Chain A
Amino acid sequence: MFEYLKQSWPTLWPTLGAIGVILAFVPVLGLYMTFIERKLAAYVQDRLGPNRVGPFGILQAIADAIKLFLKEQIIPDHVYTFLYFIAPTFSLMTAMFALVVMPFGPVPTEYTEGFRYIVAPGIDIGIMMMIAISSLSAYGIILGGWASNNKYSLYGAIRSCAQFISYEIPLGLSIIGIIAASGSLNIEQIVSSQGGAIWNWNIFWQPLALIVFFTSALAETNRLPFDLAECEQELVGGFHTEYGGIKFVLFFLAEYTHVVTVSFLTALLFFGGWHFPGLTGPVDANLGGMLLRTFVLVFKVTMVVGFIMLLRWSLPRFRFDQLMGLAWKGLIPLALLNFLCVAIVLTYDLPKHYLALTALFLVAGSMVSARHLQHTINRPRSEGRPATNVNLTESAI
Chain B
Amino acid sequence: MTSYIGTATSRIDGRDKVTGTARYAAEFGAPDLAYASLVTSPIARGRLKRLDVTAALKVQGVITVLSHQNRPSMADNDKAYKDQVAPRNGSPFRPLYDDGIKFSGQPVAVVLAEDLETASYAASLVHVAYDEEPHVTDITRQRYNGMALKAPAKPRGDATKAFSESDARHEADYFVPIEHHNPMELYASTAIWNDGRITVYDKTQGVQNVHGYLCGVFECDPGDIRVMSPYVGGAFGSGLRPPFQVALAVLAARAISRSVRLVLTRQQMYAIGYRPAMIQRIQLGAKADGSLNAISHDAVTSTSEYEDFHRNETTWSSLLYRSETAKYDHKLVRLDLPTGCDMRAPSAATGVYALEAAMDELAEALKMDPIELRLKCYSDRDQSNGLPFSSKNLRECYRQGAETFGWSRRNPAPRSMREGHEFIGWGMATGVWEALQMPIAVRIALTSNGHAEVSCATADIGTGTYTIMAQVAADMLGLPLEAISIKLGDSTLPQAPVEGGSWMAASVSNGIVTTSQAIRDDLLKLAQRLPGSPLKGRSGDEVVLANGAIALKTDGRDATAIADVMRSAGIDRIEREERTTFAKDDAHAHNTHSAIFAEVRVDEDIGVIRVTRVVSAVAAGRILNLKTARSQIMGGVVWGMGMALHEETLIDHRFGRMMNANIAEYHVPVNADVHDVDVIFVDEQDEFVNPMGIKGLGEIGIVGVPAAIANAVYHATGVRVRDLPITLDKLTRKA
A-B interaction: no
| A residues apposed to B, CB below 8 Å | none
